Copies of this chain bind each other. A is one copy, B any other.
Amino acid sequence: MIKLTYDKLSEVSNKLLLAVGASEEEATIVSKTLTQANLCGVDSHGILRLVDYVHAVEKGGIKLGVTPRIIKESPCTGHIDGCWGFGQLVATKSMEIAIEKANRDMVAIISAFNCNHVGRLADYTVMAAEKDLIGIMAAKGDPCVAPFGGRKAIMGTNPLSCAIPHGGEQMIVLDFATSKVAEGKVRHALLKGEKIPEGWIVNSAGYSTTNPEELYEPPLPPDAIKIAGALLPFAEHKGYSVSLIIDILGGILSGAGGVNMKQGNNGLFILTINPEAFISRSEFKEKVDQLVRTIKSSPRAQGVKDILIPGELEAIESERRRKNGIPIPEDVWDNLRMLYRKYGLKMPEIE
């Protein structure tokens, strides 16, 4: 296990992306979101993704030097063609527009298509919250989740995020997949030779299974590209409903695609709300802080050490890793080293 500072890890990513041909802006935005994910402990969305991204650039799936453009607009809405740029670039630009519009016209909905993998949604919703706007975002992804009662992967893992403006207390940041678990967790169990809990997946014959292999068509991970079974939605019929709505908001409304969206694509739905449309920003933030304090100081259930605010776990982990360094597994590091060699780069010194 290697340990790096935030700045060093960001530099590792940045240098590689520039060598691959990304612009300063692209490299900065992508490196920031990847490093941010590692910092807060969501390693599945961190620097390990660089290998896929570099391959996608090489194969033309991710196009460099493009500028996402608005193809349809009204004061409170914008429809964005991401032009197959980095998903992080498309999402960042989309959120910037959503912030500008909600600042001026109280609310905005932006949807985007032709957009690659965007990473953690919280990175974008927090941009809004830091500007005193409520930020909500959902993304439709590749089909890998079965409808409740089904066995065929139709919906994406369709993550949902929301960040709330706050005063002195912890920021409320929700960010979760609407599948029971992320596909990465099944993959992780498979690679470690472990079983998975009942209720995570269904196999292609429609049986619940604890064998992670049954999620995939051969070849199995790490080379797997196709799903045979399906992940299950979170929270049975309720979670299925939410996932389905995100399929519609992120996939159909954006034009990214409904049941036959291109693989690796993300369809984005972004909503920003200016509290000033209703009550003053200061009153809003004060009452949110009060709610957070009430929850944090409320009595706990038996066996519970701490009641957490959504996003608090990531904030605690960020603090810890900022102090102690960000751990990167050897295999992830080796992959980066190979890419560095391929692009004739010298790996930065790690103290």
Contact = CB atoms under 8 A, between A and B. Distances in A.
Interface string A229-252: 000001101111110110111001
A193 interface: no
Contacts of A253: 134, 273, 275, 278-279, 284
Interface residues of A, number: 73
Interface in A139-154: 146-152, 154
Contact of A291 (B111, B152, B248, B298): B248
A105 interface: yes
A152 B106 CA distance: 35
B252 A291 contact: yes
Nearest to A143: B294
B277 A79 contact: yes
Instruction: Count the copies.
Output: 2
Interface in A87-109: 105-109
A27 B287 CA distance: 36
A155 to B, nearest CB: 9
A244 B74 contact: no
Determine the main DSSP class of A at the interface with B.
mixed
Given A74-B106, A74-B277, A252-B291, A301 B259 contact: no
Interface stretch (A201-209, A217-225, A320-328, A336-344): A201-209
Given A176-B238, A258-B287, A300 B106 contact: no
A300 B205 CA distance: 9
A8 B295 CA distance: 47
A252 B282 CA distance: 12
Contacts of A107: 76-77, 107-109
A176 B241 CA distance: 9
Given A172-B245, A252-B284, 15 more contacts: A72-B278, A76-B106, A77-B278, A111-B278, A134-B253, A146-B301, A150-B295, A150-B301, A150-B304, A154-B295, A154-B298, A174-B241, A207-B301, A252-B291, A259-B290
